[in-house]
Structure 1
Amino acid sequence: MRTAVVIGTGLIGTSAALALTARGVVVHLRDADADAARTAAALGAGTAEPPEGRVDLAVVAVPPAYVAATVAEAQRAGVARGYLDVASVKGGPRRDLEALGGDLSRYLGTHPMAGRERSGPLAATEELFEGRPWVLTPTPETDTEVLNLALELVALCRAVPVVMDADAHDRAVALVSHTPQLVSSMVAARLEHAEETAVRLCGQGIRDVTRIAASRPAMWLDILAANPGPVADVLAAVAADLTGTVEALRALQSADEDKRRTGARGIEDVLLRGNAGRDRIPGKHGAAPAAYETVAVLIGDRPGELARLFADAGAAGVNIEDLRIEHATGQQAGLVQLMVEPRSVAGLTAALRERGWSIRG
């Protein structure tokens, strides 16, 4: 691949353009908002000037409802040898393109499983896709050249290709992406009119659950409108669990000992099923989740403190597998939770204490 057109210069489109440009591909940027394309170009994602002839690949990075029309228009204009989109819903856009008379052999639906709470070209980064799954949904009609171009794009963005059926993909993202967004928003909505004293008690648990609730509503309305059935199916199952949990909690309030025992079993059941589901989420490098242990370190809110902590851990010969930062409300300090292999806990704890760090827990 030597040339590409990226149509849509939001977070995903600009990030892909940055990755391609960094690896020597000449990228032309198009957007209905000319200022967005110029902003992406100023960031080094390519040029806002149109190509002189046909390019190798057109990457369509627009909301799901606009994918089919955008691809069909680009095909009629002969923009590229191959066309793919990066929308988060796959079945509907393909059917819409077929209805518009588009050339399905030159088109491939794809979806990089990456994103941020922020949107727009200024949120873009060329590392956005590194190590992340990038779903490809080829069919028997897909031309081999187009599939190869898509695989090259994934490789240049340093992502991991995953081949799926389009409708199976939509059911999967309804479970692992779209429903979590709604549930996160619903929990965060409880805080809108909560008493100030309650809000001041917010800790890492509520921050974790509501992190993605900061996402832009307009973007998610586009996504959910393109995949309503599968999302509704998952939410219906969640609603059934919620109903059962409410009933179990009410039973715990009963004066009847049998009802309290039944309620406790109901709560335990949902918690255990949650444990089992959480254990299935792939861990580092896509492998089965590892049983890491945590070393909690008190850290001041000063420049360079995290870098110093990481350097001290490295000097101790310990690899940090993951981390979380819990900020202390109203204080210039926080708690950094370093996740490490169990065999490393004692050595890391001793080394950090020797270097003056305050270990908690």
Structure 2
Amino acid sequence: MIPYGRHHIDESDIAAVSDLLRGGMLTQGPMVEAFEQAICDYTGARFAVAVSSATAGLHLAAVAAGVGPGTSLVTSPITFVASSNAALYANGRPLFADIDPATINLSPQRLEEILALHPETRAVVPVHFGGLPCDMPAIKAVADKAGAHVIEDGAHALGGRYLDGSRIGNNSNADMTVFSFHPVKAIAAGEGGIVTTNDEALYRRLIRLRSHGINKLDDPFELPEQAFTDGAQNPWYHEMQELGYHYRITDIQCALALSQLKKLDSFIARRRQLAIDYDADFAGFENLRPAQPPEGRDLSGHHLYVVRIDFDKIGKTRGAVMLELRERGIGSQVHYIPVPAQPVYRRLQMRPEDYPNAMEYYHQALTIPLFYDLSDEQRQSVVGALRDVVG
């Protein structure tokens, strides 16, 4: 079976973890800071806070942005549920702005319309779908006008670039960016995520929130009479200064992620070439087309390759197509069911039909295999199977 996504682990990755296990701290040690610095160096961000998952990072970013009771967070309806769940975790209200059908990314025009109706919005979470960067200057301009923080959901996009050539995650048009290190993403840490920012105040708060809300770095004490004895700081003393969480990542995970990061550019280059080859393979297909524009291939982080299929025209359901592909040894997936269509969100009075571009895309979407170790022969098998099944 050729899966839709898969990690790549080599001997250098195994050695990095083995070396850590033989002599390093397992958690809250120097490997975490080393990985955070490496991500800063790679993206161009000033600060980075590594966490247990990108979901945890989105939650912390939402809290740091001021999302809470009586406030809202706006994101795309075509995303993993974590992007909008961050609002619910923070006791805020999730809202959605429809996608641009050409890119499957958040539409700045639809975002402006939603923000005009919801001045209580504290955060906007654009999702770089499949790794293709959103129109961040336009989104930032709209968010600034509304007084909302911008949190880029870069779970698909590590290694991608903006139109100006700089790395996604440098926060040139955002307050924070969140990346994922789940095994099917660009680099793997088993699980894990990271938040980058250029704002020192946000960085300090993220550090506290990551570990129970306990003061970190050189945060001033709120109860100095308890913290000091005869002018010297009591070595045992710490303060829980706000409600935080246990979202720490381990040194074991960071050892693997740091080793993987060294190979990221080669990972992205291979994924990019596969995407370009797919584009050429599908040029002659009548009922199937790439979901995102080929001109974005040089910018994307290439987490996913999604095609749009006219299932009505071919006279087959998507489920039937997926089963036929599976019989030929080809795995596929759907990214994503629009979040407003999920039962929890329907109970929040969300209506998926309010997002027609998202729904039209969803009814046609199919994700096909794309990963570093996918061979050209396997890619051709995928294309051949689709030609047989779709026509």
Q: TM tier, shorter chain?
A: 0.3 to 0.5
Normalised TM-score (structure 1): 0.33
* Structure with the larger strand share: 1
More helix by share: 1
For normalisation by structure 2, the TM-score amounts to: 0.31
Give 1 or 2 for the bigger CA radius of gyration.
1
Higher relative contact order (CA 8 A, sep 6+): 2
